[in-house]
Amino acid sequence: MKSKSQKIREYFIKHPTVDPKLVGTKFEAHMSQVYMLRKQAMHEAQELISTELLGAQVTDTVNSQITDAVTQANRKQVGGDHYMNMGVQPWKAMESWMTPEEFRGFLKGNAIKYLARSNAKGGATDVRKAGHYIEKLTEVMGDD
C-alpha cells in the first residue's frame, strides 16, 4: 500500500499545474508537507521526462536542458516569480508534452492573448508578458 506522501507525489506528477491547496484538502495533508512533496514530485517528473517518457530522445532532452541554461527567456519571468520557483516551469512541461508545432502554437497563442487583453486588463505588464512569450518562441524557432 502506498503512503500518503507517495500518493501526493504521484498526484503532482500526473497533475503538475494543480493548486497545492486543493491537493492539501484532497489528501488531508498539512500545507508544509504538500509544498515539500510538490518540489520532490517536480524533480521526479524531470527525471521521468528525461528518461522513461522520451526514451530515445534523452539526448535531445539533455541538449535542451543545456540550451535552457543559456537561453534568456528561461532566466526571467514578467509579473512575479511564481513560475520560476517551480521545479519544472510550466512551459518546459508543455514543451515536453507537445509536438514542436503545438508548442510553437502555444507560445504564439499566449503572446496574442496578452496583447489582446493589454488595454482592458494588464496594460504594459501584459505587453511585456507577450514579449516574453515571443522571446521564447524566437529561441525555440532558432534559425528556422
Q: Are 17 and 89 in contact (CB under 8 A)?
A: no
Query: What pLDDT sits at residue 26?
Result: 92
> Please, are residues 78 and 132 in contact by the beta-carbon 8 Å criterion?
yes
pLDDT of residue 28: 92
The Cα-based distances of 71 to 21, 25, 107, 123, 141 in angstroms read 32, 37, 16, 26, 12
Instruction: Give the global pTM.
Output: 0.44
Domain ranges in the chain are 1-53, 72-144
Q: What is the pLDDT of residue 66?
A: 43
CA pair distance 117, 105, nearest whole angstrom: 18
One pLDDT digit (tens) per residue for the chain, 144 residues = 889 888 888 887 777 777 888 888 999 988 888 888 888 777 776 666 555 544 545 445 445 554 554 455 555 556 666 565 666 777 777 888 888 899 899 989 988 988 888 888 878 888 888 888 888 888 888 765
Grid look-up 543559456 returns 70
Question: How much is the pLDDT for 45?
Answer: 65
Reading phi first (left if > 0) and then psi (alpha if -120 to 50, else beta), residue 79 is in left
Backbone phi, psi, residue 75, to 5°: -90, 0
Calpha distance 144→142 (Å, rounded): 6
* Residue 81: predicted pLDDT: 65
